[in-house]
Amino acid sequence: MSKSVVVTAENFESEVLQAPVPVLLDFWAAWCGPCKMVGPIIEQLAEEYSDSIKMGKVNVDEETELSGRHAIRSIPTFVLYKDGKVVNQTAGALPKNGIEALFKELI
C-alpha cells in the first residue's frame, strides 16, 4: 500500500499548507523515465519517515495549475514545504541519499 499522498489542487491546502510535518512534493508524470526510477524511492522514504515527513506526489499532466504555481519546468522536481512555505526545491532524478538530504535537517 502506498504511503505517499496524491496531492491535487483540491487537497493542496489541507495536505501541504496545513500539514503538521514537512512535506516533500514529487512533481512527476507517467511518461517520465527518471520519474519512474525515483517513484519507488519516494515510497520507501514515505514508509521510513512516516512519523516525521509527508511525501506527496503531484502528476504534472493532471495538475497543471499546481505545476504552474510552482513554476515546474522539468521533472522530476522536488519541492519541500515546512510550515506552509517552500524551503527547498530541486529538479532532476536523485538517489535515495540525495532525496533524504533535501529534508533530513528539518526533521
22 is a catalytic site residue? no
pLDDT at 107: 86
Q: Considering 16, 32, 38, 46, which one is annotated as catalytic?
A: 32
Query: The domain 5-16+30-92: what is its CATH number?
Result: 3.40.30.10
Domain residue ranges of the chain, discontinuous segments joined by +: 5-16+30-92
Q: Which of 37, 32, 104 is nearest to 67 (CA)?
A: 32
Please give the average pLDDT of every successive group of 10 residues along the chain, which has 107 residues. Answer: 88 98 98 97 96 97 97 97 97 97 93
32 is a catalytic site residue? yes
Residue 69 in grid coordinates: 504555481
Q: Considering 7, 16, 19, 35, which one is annotated as catalytic?
A: 35
Query: What's the Rg (C-alpha) of the chain?
Result: 12
pLDDT at 84: 97
pLDDT at 2: 65
pTM above threshold 0.75: yes
